[in-house]
Copies of this chain bind each other. A is one copy, B any other.
Amino acid sequence: MEHVKHCSSCRTLSEKTICNICANDIRDDTQLCIVETPTDIHAIEQSGVYKGKYFVLSGYLSPIDGIGATELGLDELEQKLRDQNVEEIILATNATVEGEVTAHYISNMAKQFDIQITRIAHGIPIGGELEYADINTIAHALSGRKNYD
Contacts and interface: CB of A to CB of B under 8 A. Distances in A.
Interface string A33-50: 001110110111011111
Of the candidates A36, A136, A137, the one having the most CB atoms from chain B within 10 angstroms of its own CB is: A137
Given A118-B145, A148-B117, A131 B39 contact: yes
A67 interface: no
Given A95-B125, A118-B148, A141-B122, A135 B36 contact: no
A116 B44 contact: no
B141 A120 contact: yes
A124 B125 contact: yes
Interface stretch (A4-12, A68-76, A86-94): A86-94
